[in-house]
Amino acid sequence: MSKNSLSSRDVFTSRLGVIAAAAGSAVGLGNIWKFPYITGVYGGAAFLFVYLGFIALIGLPIMLSEFTIGRKSKSNAFGAFKKLAPGSPWKFVGMLGVAAAFMILSFYGVVAGWSIDYIIKSVTDSFASKSPDELDSMFTQFIEQPGLPIVYQLSFMLMTMAIVIIGVKDGIEKYAKILMPILILIILVLDVRAITLDGAKEGLNFLFHPDFSKLTGEGVLSALGHAFFSLSLGMGTLITYGSYIGNQNNLAKTALQVTVADTLIAILAGVAIFPAVFAFGIEPSSGPGLVFITLPNVFQQMPGGFFFSILFFLLLTVAALTSSISILEVVVAYFREELKIKRKLATILATAMIAIVGVFCSLSMGLLKENTLFGLNFFDLLDWISANMLLPLGGLFISLFIGWYWGREKIEEELAKGAGVVSWLLSVFIFLVKFIAPGAIAIVFLHGLGVFNF
Ligand code: LEU
C-alpha cells in the first residue's frame, strides 16, 4: 500500500527514532531562543524554578497522556478524540490543538528565518569587532526590514514542507537522529566559554538564585505556557507523533527521557546566555532579540568563534526544523484524515496558509509595528494567545480526559504495552492528571488573566 493511502499510517521504525523525533520536536527555538528571553523578561531564577515545577508536575504527565491518546487512537489530534470518545464534544480539544499548531508555526517560521540570516551573517564574518550596541542595532535593523526576513521565513517554510512531504520515516526520523547530539555539544562548548567570561558570576546568580518577590501572575502564567510550548504539548503534536509509535515502545520511559532532555537543553542554553548578558552589559529583559544579540558577542571572544557561530546558527535552524515539521504534521495529519486528501496536497495547502499568516508576523516587527491589540503586535499576539491560552487550555482538557473520562483501567491497559506497569507510579500519574494538573492550570490561568488575586 502506498504511503499516501489513507488506510496505511506511518510508524516510527525504532525506539531511538521515536525518542529522536519526539525530542526533536521538543527541542527547538523554545529552548534556545524563547526560554532565555522570557526568563530575562520575568526576572530570572524565580521564573526558572516555577517553570521546572510545572515541567515535572504538569508537563511530564500531560506528555504521557498525549502519547497514550495518540497511540491508542492511531489518529490525528482531532480524529483521536472522535475515535476515543465518539459523539462527544471532546473532539474540540483536538481542534484547539490544530488551531494552536497553526498559529505557532506562523511566528515560529519567522524566528527560524532570523536564524538563517544569522548563518549568513556568521559566514560573512559580520559580527567581527562590533560592540554590543552595534550588534543590538544590527538585529533590530534586520527584523524591521520588510523584505529579507520574509524571504528567509518562506525559505524555512519550504524546507519544512519538503521534509513533511517525504513523510515520517524517511523525513522526520532520519534527520532528527543525527543532528540533535551535535547541537548539544556546541551548546556545551558555549557554556564553557560563557562561564569563564569576566563577570559571568552575576549571570549565574540571575539564573539560579531566586527572588520570588519578583514573580507576577503574568510571569507564572508564562512559565506554564512555556512548559507547554517547550515540551510541544497542547498543540496536538505529541498526540500525532504518539499515533506513529508502535506498541512495543515504553511510553512512560520515552516521555521521561524527552522531558529531561528538553529541560536540560534549556538550562544549558540559559547558562550560555546569562553570564554573557551580564558580562557584556546587555539588558536581560531585552526581549526576542536576546540570543541573537548576546551570542555574537560571545563568539567574538572565543577561539574559533567564527567557526562556532556558523555551526551554532546552522544547528539552531536544524533544531527549529525538527520542531516545525512536528507542528506542520499536526495540521497535515488533520487535513489528510479529516478532509481526506493526500499527504502532498495536504502539506502544500497547510504550508501555504501558515506561511501567509507568517508574513504578517514578520511585517509586524517593522512596517506594521504600530498595529497593536492589547499593546501587542501581531507576532506577540499570536505567541501570547497560543502559548498562554490555547496550550494550557488544551492541557487542561487532556488531563481531564485521561484522568476522569478514561480512568485507571484503560490507562493501565495502554501503558502496559511495551512496559511493565509499576502500580504506585501509575497511581502517582493518575493523581497528577486527575487533580494536580487541571487544578494548577485552572488556578494559574485565571490568576494570570487577572480574574482573581491572592
Ligand atoms: N517545542 C518546540 C520548541 O521548544 C516548539 C513547538 C511549538 C514545537 O521549540
Q: Whose CA is nearest to atom 4 of ligand 1?
A: 30
Count CB-CB contacts under 10 A for residue 232: 32
Atom 6 in ligand 1: which residue has the minimum CA distance?
Answer: 232
pLDDT in tens, 313-322: 988 898 899 8
* Per-residue confidence (pLDDT) for residue 168, from 0 to 100: 58
Give the up-direction half-sphere exposure of residue 2: CA atoms within 13 A in the CB hemisphere.
6
366 Rama class: left (phi>0) / alpha (psi -120 to 50) / beta: alpha
373 three-class SS: strand
Residue with cell 551548546: 187
Ligand 1 pocket: which residues have CB below 6 Å?
25-26, 28-31, 104, 229-230, 232, 237, 323, 326-327
3-class SS of residue 12: coil
Mean pLDDT of 90-103: 91
Alpha carbon distances (Å) from 424 to 68, 131, 401, 411: 18, 56, 21, 14
What does the block give as the cell for 428? 502517582
Distance CA 383, CA 403 (A): 28
C-alpha cell at 327: 507542528
Return phi, psi of residue 212, to 5°.
Answer: -70, -15
The predicted model gives 414-431 an average pLDDT of: 86
Residue 87 Cα to ligand 1 middle (Å) = 31
Rounded to an integer, the average pLDDT of 6-24 is 71
CA distance 318 to 332: 20
Q: 270 C-alpha vs ligand 1 centroid, how far in Å?
A: 16
Q: How confident is the model at residue 71 (pLDDT cuts 50, 70, 90)?
A: very high
Q: Cα(27) to centroid of ligand 1, in Å? A: 6
pTM of the model: 0.91
Q: Which of these, 382, 366, 381, lies nearest to 142 by C-alpha position?
A: 366
4 Cα to the center of ligand 1, angstroms: 26
